[in-house]
Chains A and B, each alone.
Chain A
């Protein structure tokens, strides 16, 4: 795209049950600071069947302008139709910077959109700022599973970034904020759908949702088998906590894949994260960097998790955990 007349920061928004997704609100917060650095406006675009309510939410959360593509074909998320809609919005609005959250949809959409626009895309960013000299966006992101951090700059326009969920806090919503809502037309037709959803297999999730849990308990390879997870679940119930696992425990087939926390699993940001027999590999820590307090129970005093934890017990979980749980039961009645 042409750099000359490109201006402003555009957030590519997502809907969740008809409302603006929390990750899009986080992305607006990131966009607000970049727009401030550039002295340019912040916009958000949403593509859906009903865009009025989320448009108002976007303004309250910091958008100066909302572009809407309203079309019944967009009622359900479809990768190809939504890609087409977002590409259309970018062509018409020519942003200098385009941001998206690295959600399930964002992981699919952002790279194809960048390829389609001929743009550079900084993936999985934790922090972005404007370099005052060049006026370009500098994005910081973990690489090598989190063992290194890179600062990257995109050539070309728009400069694109996908942001790791929970890296930014949404702004406090202000319902009195004013913003324009600008409807846009993007030609869509059902023949653009080549990928077809055949079936959705939801796992029965009885417990607390990991992504929003205030406390999370997770186990790793050191638990040795599937059975100990029952004990962890029992304690989690006591605490009202969500339950998760390391990839090693998932790969061993002890727990479902949806329990995985980490770079290629879920991102959590609880107040308290209790890990049991997890070594704390950087790829695991990538999923819990937003946890306020990490607790580690590990028999190896040299385990990396103890370098990142606030409280640690060096010992065998088989001896530590029952006493821990018993005491919790007494404390919590």
Chain B
């Protein structure tokens, strides 16, 4: 039996966009960017796809990518397919518009995972670069009763176990858990692979499976947020920078040291 791996991936605003493009619509309590700036697959979720594909490189496995949202850019969300994933499942519905609530998202994902049937391993990015919650994967694990391991940088599967080397503030640790399990990964996993030409061709031919809220048996009351945004604004920074400038750059360096001494900072 091939290993059945699910990857959770989110479409987000490109975090590398120029700040001038980033608009906070305070009255609507949401963020917008010009439509000319395409969204991206959340960076850590690309690491998750990479983690799944590395497992698939070494053993028979299928990789299914699952995403919940509204207004997907298909060519963006197909990237995992062009990297080598087998199937893309999009949970797409107007009812999911502006769903930033982690538990509502987790409920939709959990329902879809149950509908997909048996699986061995779920891999997700450690957090999404929009709300930085780091919450959905753990809520999914809790709902499905799975053991969870976070911030993995190396994920291996064998003998019914997943072995994860994870980054910690002190260094790293190796932990293992019985399958089925959920693992989140971090950028320390390394660069996600680039899509190959063959991969891109294969992805063009593949159509995503699209499920609506109704397909999942969910309605608006199920998706009621547990955390409500009451305000959204741009923070003000009040730092006043004093530029230290000498005759040349070396003198600027000297003056900086003297300045820090004068300010009793060193």
Contacts and interface: CB of A to CB of B under 8 A. Distances in A.
Given A195-B149, A264-B127, A138 B248 contact: no
A294 interface: yes
A286 to B, nearest CB: 8
A196 B261 CA distance: 50
Contacts of A79: 148
Interface string B19-34: 1001010000101000
A123 interface: yes
Interface in A278-333: 283, 293-297, 304, 306-316, 319-328, 331-332
Interface string B220-258: 000011111111111101011111110011111110111
Interface stretch (B58-66, B136-144, B194-202, B209-217): B136-144
Interface residues of A, number: 87
B250 A320 contact: yes
A108 B148 CA distance: 9
A264 B186 contact: yes
Given A120-B103, A155-B226, A315 B252 contact: yes
A144 B13 contact: yes
B142 to A, nearest CB: 4
Interface residues of B, number: 83
Nearest to A123: B133
A203 interface: yes
Contact of A149 (B126, B186, B233, B241): B233
Contacts, number: 255
B235 A111 contact: no
Given A122-B227, A310-B239, A327-B254, A116 B171 contact: no
Contacts of A138: 230
Interface in A97-148: 104, 107-108, 111-112, 114-116, 118-124, 138, 142-148
B103 A115 contact: yes
Contacts of B228: 152-155
A311 B187 CA distance: 32
Contact of B24 (A148, A211, A321): A148
A215 B150 CA distance: 30
A144 B245 CA distance: 34
A230 interface: no
A198 B174 contact: yes
A314 B253 CA distance: 10
A120 B227 contact: yes
A208 interface: no
A247 interface: yes
A263 B126 CA distance: 12
B138 A150 contact: no
Contact of B174 (A150, A201, A205): A201
B130 interface: yes
B2 interface: no
B171 A201 contact: yes
Nearest to A296: B241
B142 A115 contact: yes
Nearest to B142: A115
A200 B173 contact: yes
Contacts of A251: 187
Interface in B169-184: 169-178, 181
A257 interface: yes
Interface of B: 13, 15, 19, 22, 24, 29, 31, 102-103, 106, 126-127, 129-135, 138-139, 141-143, 147-150, 153, 163, 165, 167-178, 181, 186-188, 224-235, 237, 239-245, 248-254, 256-261, 263, 265-266
19 contacts: A112-B142, A121-B226, A142-B132, A148-B233, A149-B235, A198-B163, A198-B176, A200-B173, A203-B170, A250-B188, A257-B153, A264-B127, A307-B239, A308-B239, A311-B256, A313-B252, A320-B252, A323-B257, A332-B266
Given A107-B150, A201-B173, 5 more contacts: A151-B231, A200-B172, A257-B188, A293-B263, A313-B249
